[in-house]
Amino acid sequence: MEEFHCMNHPDRAAVHQCSRCGKPLCDECYNPEMQTCRMYCNSLSTTTTTAPQPKNTFWQIVVALLAIVGALALLLAAICGAMIYSY
Ligand SMILES: [Zn+2]
Ligand SMILES: [Zn+2]
Cα 7 to ligand 2 centre (Å): 6
DSSP string, 19-57: TTT--EE-TTTEETTTTEETTTHHHHHHHHHHTTHHHHH
Q: What pLDDT, on the 0 to 100 scale, is given for residue 24?
A: 95
Mean pLDDT score of the chain: 86
How many structural domains comprise the chain?
Answer: 2
Give the torsion through C-alpha atoms of 3, 24, 28, 36, to 10 deg: -150
Are 81 and 40 contained in the same domain?
no
Are 47 and 69 contained in the same domain?
no
Give the global pTM: 0.47
Q: What pLDDT, on the 0 to 100 scale, is given for residue 71?
A: 97
In this structure, how many other beta carbons lie within 10 angstroms of the beta carbon of residue 62? 10
Cα 30 to ligand 1 centre (Å): 9
Are 3 and 42 contained in the same domain?
yes
Cα 10 to ligand 1 centre (Å): 16
Q: Percent of the chain at pLDDT above 70?
A: 85
Q: What pLDDT, on the 0 to 100 scale, is given for residue 77?
A: 95
The parent domain of residue 22 ranges over 1-51
Are 69 and 39 contained in the same domain?
no
Residue 41 has pLDDT above 60, yes or no: yes
